[in-house]
A = this chain, B = another copy of it.
């Protein structure tokens, strides 16, 4: 066991998986730079595996993502870095219409084992074009899987699974929690997709949270516990596939649900989870399902406005209390 940050866990996993399988390559902008990319995640990889396997590219996201897909189709297992998920806009076609659909369009006769690592989220002052969440858009696309770890242990196991998985996976790293640490086994391991983690057990209300929101949910749960409210916090870890059953089982127990999502509200994961329970868990519900999300606005540059943008502990607590007291 080592105490690792999410950033370190991801870096370590990349080292392990590249050592384990020489078909694994890393491709993206500045990934082979000495600093290890924009946020230092790929540090040391070019030195360890050479520039034939750790490949710096021009600023051409469609070509990067598409080439990673084409390489996956023909025998490699590429990990492509899309520096910020906000850049999906310049390369979505290669992901949505090509990579995601190869297998289906080609009658099941192709597989595309590509992993796309990307940074999501606000909270770091990166402004309107570098702070989006956007994973709902990916969850909507048949043919890809979407993962968003909230701690270093999960990051390591889920990234290893993503790289070894034979389907395309988008791996979403929240930039504001790269430094979060926890104990992580030294040896490689994988965590299966579609299995939620129960972060806190509780009986009064279920809180489903994604990515960074898991940390806020945990903190609120801990503080409410001392006030006699027992909150169950569930981190689905993978957004597609989603562990409906775990959520349903929890709501069956608690009868109440709050969903936290840093995404913009409409057609978000908060909406998705809520709608699943409104259909399959209706009889369990004793209160309306509340969603706590970012507002329907871009992410502002001002730190004060950015703080107002992000769901706060106070808002989360208020939603939980309102649900419990309903």
Chain B residues closer than 8 Å to A129, beta-carbon distance: 97, 101, 105
In the complex, which residues of chain B have a beta carbon less than 8 angstroms from the beta carbon of A324? none
In A281-304, which residues have CB < 8 Å from any B CB? 282-283, 285, 287-291, 295-298, 300
The contact string, 1 if C-beta is below 8 Å from chain B, for chain A 306-321, is 0000000000000000
Contacts of A271 in B (CB 8 A): 267, 271-272, 274-276
CB-defined interface of A106-134 with B at 8 Å, one 1/0 digit per residue? 00000000000000000000001100000
**Given A271-B271, A275-B291: A142 and B88 within 8 A (CB)?**
no
Docked Cα-Cα span, A266 to B239, in Å, equals 10
Closest Cβ–Cβ distance, residue A276 to chain B (whole Å): 8
Which of B94, B264, B275 makes the CB contact (< 8 A) with A278?
A: B275
A136 proximity list for chain B (CB < 8 A): 140, 267
Query: In the complex where A140-B136, A268-B140 touch, is A298 in contact with B101 (Cβ < 8 A)?
Result: yes
- Mask, A254-266, CB within 8 Å of B = 1, is 0000000001101
8 Å CB contact of A89 from B95, B142, B287 = B95
The answer, yes or no, to whether A224 is at the interface (CB within 8 Å) is: no
Q: Known interface pairs A97-B89, A279-B274. Does A267 touch B137 (Cβ–Cβ under 8 Å)?
A: yes
B264→A140 contact, CB < 8 A: yes
> By the criterion CB–CB under 8 Å, are B291 and A279 in contact?
yes
| A297 closest partner in B (C-beta) | B142
Q: Cβ of A266 and Cβ of B105 under 8 Å apart? A: no
Beyond A105-B298, A140-B264, A143-B298, 18 additional contacts (C-beta under 8 Å) are: A89-B93, A97-B129, A101-B129, A101-B298, A104-B300, A137-B267, A140-B266, A270-B275, A271-B271, A271-B272, A271-B274, A274-B274, A274-B275, A274-B279, A275-B291, A277-B278, A279-B289, A282-B285
Is there a chain B Cβ closer than 8 Å to A163's Cβ?
Answer: no
Instruction: Give the Cβ gap from A171 to chain B, nearest Cβ, in Å.
Output: 18
List of B residues within 8 angstroms of A128 by Cβ = 97, 101, 104-105
Q: Which of A122-159 contact B (CB under 8 A)?
A: 128-129, 136-137, 139-143
Residues of B within 8 A of A274 (CB): 271, 274-275, 278-279
- Most chain-B CB neighbours within 10 Å: which of A142, A240, A297? A142
Query: Can you report 15 A-B residue pairs in the complex whose CB atoms are below 8 A from each other?
Result: A62-B90, A88-B92, A88-B93, A89-B94, A89-B97, A100-B298, A104-B298, A105-B298, A136-B140, A140-B268, A275-B289, A279-B290, A280-B288, A282-B288, A282-B289
A49 at the interface (CB under 8 A from B): no
Once A93-B87, A97-B89, A140-B137 are accepted as A-B contacts, the answer to whether A266 and B240 lie under 8 Å apart by CB is: yes
Closest Cβ neighbor of A88 among chain B residues: B92
The docked-state distance in angstroms from the alpha carbon of A275 to that of B261 is 13
Cβ contacts under 8 Å, A282 to chain B: 285, 287-289
Chain B nearest CB, measured from A69 CB (Å): 13
For A165, the chain B residues whose CB sits under 8 A away are none
CB of A86 closer than 8 Å to a CB of B: yes
